[in-house]
Amino acid sequence: MTTKKIFVSVGKRSLLSNIVVSQIEKTIRSKTLLPGAKLPSELVLCEQFGVSRTAVREALRTLSARGLVTIMKGKGIFVQNISSETVTDPIQLYFEMRLQRDYVLDIVHARQIIEPPIAASAAFHYTEEDAEKLKKDQYNLVHSNGDYKELSRLDMLFHLDIAKASENSLIPLILEPIHRLIPQIKSSVYATVADAKQSAVEWHQKILTAILQRDAEGARNAMVRHLEIAEQHTEQMLKNQPSTEKN
């Protein structure tokens, strides 16, 4: 059986694995290979690229780490089905690995820049389905008897659903890796600041009311104030925690 040749020999140059990565990535990005498609075997890839199995394996590890392919033992190499997690997981990992104690306030400040216009956009573009999700989020937060981690999850879900209601598919992808870092922070805030939940419930309601009334400016202003208070609460939480030396 003859295997159709997809790739061309890369020649005998240094960093061969990088060239293999580049060619396979280009083929995936151009949709020559679609999500779910099976790549040729390692042996065939070696023949087509004209490189060693070591170079091919290194390239496949890189592509797998980037979320472009998945390697299934005994089954083969497949083009990864791209999801929001494929995009946001590496960003979240970067934040977790690189940011130090100061990142807590960096996150709040980033949200202060990003989220008010998102709330305004949601007021313009939300659908009835979006409205029902936001109402449910608010109801669940108000009536939650869960622990601080659960309160934090419900809090962030409301903000992510506002992002989805903006009807811009890029916005949730931008916010999600940031928001994934927040539950631990918010849990500490809820544990430290006595009126943190009451404040969240109050300002979420004001934001929700403005959105449902298609009041973009009101939604923007309510989000601004909500995140100003979030900054105050975060600073209060940090004061109650022992400082740690940066690495």
User: Tokens representing 126?
Assistant: 């939300």
Domain match, 122 and 224 both? yes
Domain annotation covers residue 195: yes
Domain match, 144 and 222 both? yes
- Which CATH number characterizes residue 192's domain? 1.20.120.530
Domain match, 66 and 134 both? no
d(CA 10, CA 17) in angstroms, rounded, equals 10
Domain match, 68 and 117 both? no
Domain boundary among 57, 79, 101: 79
Domain annotation covers residue 189: yes
Domain boundary among 32, 58, 79: 79
Domain match, 125 and 220 both? yes
Domain annotation covers residue 245: no
pLDDT at site 246: 41
Tell me the mean pLDDT in the region 118-129: 97
Tell me the mean pLDDT in the region 152-176: 91
Host domain of residue 98: 85-239
Domain match, 29 and 102 both? no
pLDDT digits (tens, 9 = 90+) for 192-233: 898 999 999 999 999 999 999 999 999 999 999 999 999 999
Domain match, 73 and 127 both? no
Name residue 202's amino acid: E
Domain match, 115 and 213 both? yes
pLDDT digits (tens, 9 = 90+) for 11-24: 554 478 899 999 99
Domain annotation covers residue 4: no
Domain match, 159 and 189 both? yes
- Which CATH number characterizes residue 49's domain? 1.10.10.10
Residue 185 reports pLDDT greater than 50: yes
pLDDT at site 161: 96
The number of distinct structural domains making up the chain is 2
Domain match, 75 and 180 both? no
Domain annotation covers residue 2: no
